[in-house]
With several copies, the nearest count.
Chain A
Amino acid sequence: MEYSATEMMTVAAARALKDDDVCFVGIGLPSAACNLARLTHAPNLTLIYESGTIGARPDVLPLSIGDGELCATALTTVSVPEMFRYWLQGGRISVGFLGGAQVDRFGNINSTVIGPYDRPKVRLPGAGGATEIATQCEQIFIIMRHSPRAFVPRVDFITSLGHGTGGDDRRRHGVGTLGPTLVVTDLCVMRPDPETKELTVVSLHEGVTREQVIEQTGWPVRFAAELERTPPPTATELDALRELQARTARAHARPEARDGGR
């Protein structure tokens, strides 16, 4: 079965989630991966969106972090202050799933500005929930498309702390959680080196070469001694993902009917 690099990336990310994880889900690629996991090997995965929906089981991917589909399928919906106080800061989340515009060799994420803050080259959306997601979930998974502009030696702006300047810098900021333990891209899977915390390639997707990853990474990227090959998507995974995407495209293109109530 043929598949795209984005499909490979989404499938590889989905596989990292366990059935009993409680996952704080970012919109876009993280949401696709989390819902794919729920629709395949992790049916009991708990998805939490920062809009307050706990245990959402959307039939189509939400466009926003607060589509009605999330609330309608959730176990319960709490206020946003409660979400950030009792659930995220309360230490109830096992995995935070983030994307961003830039990630650096120590897993720090920038979603604020490219260029200087006061005279930005590109003004990005900003932190949203990501700053505290990054420090308060047990561990962080990152999903991003590989490019030298995205994978940089040092982010222009640390929106979300990863491993800081490496080593135990995260601890020096008073943060006790694991931080980024996994980065999934359209080319490979990376994990932080146990000592230095530098992101290191541990698995190449099918058909991807070391040279391609080196070319697309903004720092002299290291590879694990025992470099693995990511198993390609199975037919089950691809079918589930494509059906989800097709349902989603149909739902979002439709100018939706107002369902009245009056």
Chain B
Amino acid sequence: MVAFLSLREAVAELIHDGDTVAMEGFTHLIPFAAGHEVIRQGKRDLTLVRMTPDLIYDQMIGMGCARKLVFSWGGNPGVGSLHRLRDAVERGWPVPLALEEHSHAAMANAYAAGASGLPCAIFRGYQGTDLTQVNPNIRFIECPFTGERLAAVPAIRPDVAVIHAQRADRQGNVLIEGIVGVQKEAVLAARRSLVTVEEIVDDLRVPSPNAVVLPHWTITAIAEVPGGAWPSYAHGYYTRDNAFYTAWDGIARDRDTFLAWMREHVLDAPHRPAVARPVGA
């Protein structure tokens, strides 16, 4: 039965030190507020899984929550590097970060395999790339009909999936609309799931019979967190704060500036999503 909890309660109950956590949202609907709560609660030794680590994992890595990152593209989209991710990888600050590195195709297939209850995914990929030299979780099988060599990766089965969505109804059914990324797959692949939503409503207002809807019995907990995807966006609610993404480059480049920003906007600001604040730096 889905539980309607506060964000603080939900993160405390669902996410434990050492867990494998997938916080998904492909550019859109990134669960930033939930990431900030993970930081405030001082979670440690997480294995973070995410196709595009983005600012949310830059912040969590910079605050020392993670010991391993499974990913396929780790940048600030259209801006440049994730400086906290690089600092952790290149200089072990604040703690060393192990990497398991894939391509998007591999991660997307691995999530789909996780949602499908399969142990692995097969796809045509990874030919001629050096990624096969540095990631032992990339293997190959032969098609039993054609003999073609196909890539295989293990399914992603996180302990917890965390996503942000537009809205839930009072039964706990959730609607996701727009760029839907791998969120449905992440929730279905995970043992537990937390969905933060812009609003909880009487009528889910599903636009079509084929809309992306997660039934309540696939979700562990829902927390209403308006603005919970800022500085990413929620289609139909608010747009992406591209200016903040650009500003983050300056904030995150330096350890002290970063820590000051995190203190002011996350650590000392419990429970209030950062959305209402002016762009920092």
Contacts and interface: CB of A to CB of B under 8 A. Distances in A.
B135 to A, nearest CB: 10
A80 B128 CA distance: 23
A55 B75 CA distance: 25
A77 to B, nearest CB: 5
A230 interface: no
If over half of A's interface residues share one DSSP class (helix, strand or loop), that class is named, otherwise mixed; here it is loop
Given A68-B235, A74-B209, A135-B125, A90 B74 contact: no
A220 interface: no
A178 interface: no
Interface stretch (B13-21, B59-67, B96-104, B257-265): B96-104
A231 interface: no
Interface in B62-80: 71-75, 77-79
A105 B48 CA distance: 36
A161 B129 contact: yes
Contact of B130 (A50, A125, A158, A261): A158
A83 B108 contact: yes
Contact of A126 (B73, B111, B123, B235): B73
B245 interface: yes
B57 to A, nearest CB: 12
Interface string B242-281: 1111100000000000000000000000000001001100
A112 B211 CA distance: 35
B130 A112 contact: yes
**Residue among B123, B188, B245 with the highest chain A CB neighbour number at 10 A:** B188
Given A130-B103, A258-B239, 13 more contacts: A53-B179, A64-B78, A65-B77, A66-B28, A79-B184, A86-B116, A127-B103, A135-B127, A158-B129, A159-B129, A258-B275, A259-B237, A261-B236
B128 A256 contact: no
Contact of A157 (B130, B199, B240): B130
B26 A258 contact: no
A128 B72 contact: yes
A6 to B, nearest CB: 16
A254 B240 CA distance: 11
A92 B218 CA distance: 8
